[in-house]
Structure 1
Amino acid sequence: MTGDSSAILPWKCSSACSGKPSAGRSQDKDTAVPPCSSSSRPAEVSTARVGSGGAAPPRRAGEKLRLRSGSGLFPPCCGAQLLCGAGPGLGLDRTVPGTMGFVKVVKNKAYFKRYQVKFRRRREGKTDYYARKRLVIQDKNKYNTPKYRMIVRVTNRDIICQIAYARIEGDMIVCAAYAHELPKYGVKVGLTNYAAAYCTGLLMARRLLNKFGLDKIYEGQVEVTGDEYNVESVDGKPGAFTCYLDAGLARTTTGNKVFGALKGAVDGGLSIPHSTKRFPGYDSESKEFNAEVHRKHIMGQNVADYMRYLMEEDEDAYKKQFSQYIKNNITPDGMEEMYKKAHAAIRDNPVHDKKPKREVKTKRWNCPKMSLAQKKDRVAQKKASFLRAQERAADS
């Protein structure tokens, strides 16, 4: 026998055997099965990979046991019990306890035939339809009145602010402003920070009110304080333009740049429901809002403080991170004045400058149609050519 003694289990006949010949076997003298006795030799049980020495390796999940038969190692009657599962729990067709048995196949042909895919923008991970449904649905007693949304998206190099409303054909954009327009108003660097988000929201609000002729009625908050401000409708005048913030997939954490654009739009004269809990300066533990901290972010003072810190601690890092500020001669002390001038310039002229349409001369590859005079002239040329050919033939 091969294998270690640890792979050999002592044999003990079960009560189901009772020392009688196996049922269903022939009772002839030559083929009779001898009964089991206490002096029967033990059955050698080993795994499929038991070596010639050392302990048997552990079985993997789902691996079956093999009974080494032959040479009369176990009585045939008890072997029959093992085959039918009535033995000591080592049947050939029984897997190791704890493994998964038969599992019903759920994703079958019928499942895939009836499978309905999600919306395309949900599959692409671009639209939160749970939020969009609530931002788009309008009260039925308002009939065809649009429900406006202030869409704010922050990319790596730009900040996008739009006013839009939904239709079956798609979203209709009423007005838009971008952070890459800010160099026109004096902000040439830092186009994706919190201060730039405020400027972009302010530009969009003033541009929209100018488009609807409401810019003189709703001036908004001219002096930047960072404190809470809400636009109220003026009696006898058109109501304040109301819209709702659409943050998209952005995490609406305290201090997010999305709320910087929101604050700029509110100070610009738009009515947008909001609170101060997501503005920089709000303390969730004390539940108090510090407007001065918010004002520093609007005026770019948080960036200016970091510039001063790097100038003192690491000159190389300062030159690397603020190379464009150095190139445009922007210092920490002059940053607040830069944003004040930008806010004033935006209020003076928020209108978008349309680029002149470039004329493109297209090249025609097909032959243009001939006019009637050209056709008659061509016929006359053919006649003259034919007559000249006739004269040359007559002369020759």
Structure 2
Amino acid sequence: MPKAEKGSNKALANKVKSKGLQKLKWFCQMCNKQCRDQNGFKCHLTSESHQRQLLLFAENSNSYLRQFSSEFESLFLRLLRTTFGTKRVRANEVYQEVIKDKGHVHMNATVWHTLTGFVLHLGDSGKCKVDQGEKGWYVQYIDQEEEIRKEKFTKRVQQEKDEEERSRLLLEQQIERALEKERASGKANDEPESKEFLRENDDEKIKIALPSSSLLKKDEDKKLAPSNALKSLESAASSSKKRSSSSKPEASSSKKSALDLIREEEERYKERKNRTDYWLAEGIIVKIVTKKLGSDYYKAKGEIIKLVDKYTAKVDVDGDVLKLDQQHLETVIPAIGKDMLILNGAYRGTKATLLEIKENEYSLVLKLKEGLRHGREVVVAYEDASKLA
């Protein structure tokens, strides 16, 4: 077949065809046919095959419109999610990516006549965040899975707070009952009841019995008997010490059984509940302890900006974002008076102020800044708390 003459209509048509994409207004969605020019599109509209497709469309137009609209929306959102992620981007830029595909569903076949109408639909349905700027409409994809995860996390935190509140109320009730028992026992032991002296017979005479002379003489002999003053003092002191030492444990044990044992049991319960093998958290400063990244990053400090999972995090080190496992990181201890975040144990997730560093015990003394135990001083290990960014 001879080649078309240069500059002829056939040559121009072949040139346009070689480019791949044609004008969208000359595309028939029902027939899935692309025409090259206005004349070809007009001829297609009068063809028998197109007329049959129109009859099918007329029988159930709403079904076809819903199908085309759903396909266009899913394609738009898929490209927005895979190409741009959750970044804010111009809607027209995403649309240009959509129409690059020859087999895409055209917008003139959907229920939306303009791109603005489609963008507003995405905003109303909650699938994207939309706003209008100087250069037109902007869209930002909303990750539904991430929102669901955040919602579940919020519910779990709320449930833990409710459970902690219930345990606190139960503890207060136990302490109150223990104090009432202590007060009642103290009154019974320390303040014996005074009884009024009652006389059964008013006419009865009061008799006083005086000791006989022999008894008085024996008492005087006992008083005048010689004795060692130093020995008596030593024996009195030792007996008083024994009495005090024997009474102290009883008092302390009774006090501990009433209040301290309840608090200790609560501390042990919270420690068991919140003690895990993972400790990463967003917003803390950590130190890189692996040499696999080179000498530039070894022992460098950075901030955790995002958690990939429970054991992996993205760390910002001087503008470079690194994905690291927790075994390649360690906590950072700031100067005295700086804020820290407790990462493990009974007070996990609580902000605190560093009061003291116990180097011999490898532990820190922290003062809690929030929660039900606000202002309380606790001791945690080096690896259970880290500096806040």
What is the TM-score when the length of structure 2 is the normalising length? 0.17
What is the TM-score when the length of structure 1 is the normalising length? 0.16
Structure holding more helix per residue: 2
Relative contact order, higher structure (CA 8 A, sep 6+): 1
